[in-house]
Structure 1
């Protein structure tokens, strides 16, 4: 079967155009919010704290803050992107067009992941204005950035299909993802916790994302890079299988 590049491009360009129309909300707001974290935690509080694993506190929190924005924005962008056609009814035109599920997902998820990757790079550049840091493994930083954005954009696509109202689009990022990110080692190393809490924290999937991303920056991590990468790929596979099931059954797409 020939891949319909024109269909993918049309969906992708439409979603990206929405970003440029709402540039202040889509890009400027997350960057400014994250900058405030650097000012408060990195400069004000960080100047009074000792190093963690030989890294200044301001530099230590950079991967966690980037991951916090990356996860939230990936989910929000993808969920809103697919939910709007459902809300307006144009989803039926997409489904009836000669466009395969793979092409639909590629267009929506590709645009959401692109926005998140751009935002992640902007936050990384902004961090350099507040904190001095070096990157130990640039290739892995970019790799984790792309893999995480893609995985959670797929997750956001699932949420957008599942949600039957705009209020539900905010439930997952606000009530689940953000707390898990804060409790997943964004601002501390889990080795600083009591042993029992270290074991409990390992059940938080975000720990593996932040740990792997921090390893790519500074060559230090709470869990091995192999486990971090494996957990991310497993979640990616689960999202792909779930989306495949959604299109196969028409769950909340054709009703």
Structure 2
């Protein structure tokens, strides 16, 4: 293991966060705070409780997960796309560093930034609502696992994209709508039976449900299924990345 190379990539990516702290940290926190204000005031006054949980507290896991998904994907995608854009990717590929170490550096930095942001949003949420975390270890586990999984997915998007427009395509047109329709602001049990069944095809449902269970002990699907689906997505992402480095897809051309 070339720890020095991994450390160099990791620190370079982390340094980029501090250079763009307004965009990377402050902007997502402000956006999430506005969700608390708008949804808490407008909808919370009409929906007092869901599963015995105040509406303001109920949406906290969904809002954290919404930011975590988009930021993990975006950070990792931009992290690997920029070396492709400026041509420094060839220096990385020719250096004495393995594909695993490259992925570890970029994905590790993206996941770290996302976890930090998630914890900041969690602390911010505590200013608006009374929170309880029944399973703090599972909460951290889901936080880290989701950040890693979507950072891997973002790494794939960054390699696949051949323009800045495509970097925004998946987060804006796929991930964000799936997060909104995945129970971020409601329980899928509130939907008609048909739409409950349709929602189960949305992978984000399992992420949000498992994360909400870690807070309140209640979920739309079982914790085992949520964990299994997250791990399946993680393994699939790793398999795609392994294929990319084995074939050189959009890396060597």
Which of the five TM-score ranges fits, normalised by the shorter chain? Answer: over 0.9
Contact 1:43 1:130 in 2 (8 A): no
Residues 75-86 of structure 1 correspond to what in structure 2 (within 5 A)?
A: 75-86=73-84
Does residue 182 of the first structure (1) align with residue 188 of the second (2)? no
Q: Residues 42 and 131 of structure 1 are in contact (CA less than 8 Å); yes or no, is this contact kept in structure 2?
A: no
TM-fit CA distance, 1:50: 2.4
What residue ranges of structure 1 are gaps of 5+ in the alignment?
none
Where does residue 14 of structure 2 map in the other structure?
Answer: 16
Structure 2, unpaired ranges of 5+: none
CA distance in structure 2 between the aligned counterparts of 1:114 and 1:79, rounded to whole angstroms: 14
Match in the other structure for 1:243: 241
Give the corresponding residue for 2:219.
221
The equivalent residue for 1:142 is 140
Alignment of 1:50-89 (within 5 A): 50-89=48-87
Aligned-partner Cα distance in 2 for 1:91–1:62: 39
What's the counterpart of residue 195 of structure 2?
197
Residue aligned with 1:252, SS: coil
Query: Helix, strand or coil: the match of 1:130?
Result: coil
Corresponding residue for residue 158 of structure 2: 160
Asked whether 1:170 is paired with 2:168, we answer yes
What is the rounded CA distance, in whole Å, between the counterparts of 2:35 and 2:94 in structure 1? Answer: 46
Q: Which residue of 2 aligns with 1:211?
A: 209
Normalised by the length of structure 2, the TM-score is: 0.99
Distance in 1 (CA, whole Å) between partners of 2:55 and 2:192 is 20
Q: Look up the SS of the partner of 2:49 in the other structure.
A: coil
TM-superposition CA deviations, 1:181-224 (whole Å, max 9, x none): 00000010000000000000100000000000000000000000
Query: How far is 1:48 from its partner?
Result: 2.9
- Distance in 2 between the 1:171 and 1:93 partners? 28
Q: Alpha-carbon deviation of 1:42?
A: 1.8
State the SS of the aligned residue for 2:249. Answer: coil
- Taking only aligned residues, the RMSD between alpha carbons, in angstroms, comes to 0.6
Deviation >6 Å, runs of 4+ = none
Distance 1:73 1:165 in 2: 19
Report the 3-state secondary structure (helix = DSSP H, G, I; strand = E; otherwise coil) of the residue aligned with 1:48. Answer: coil
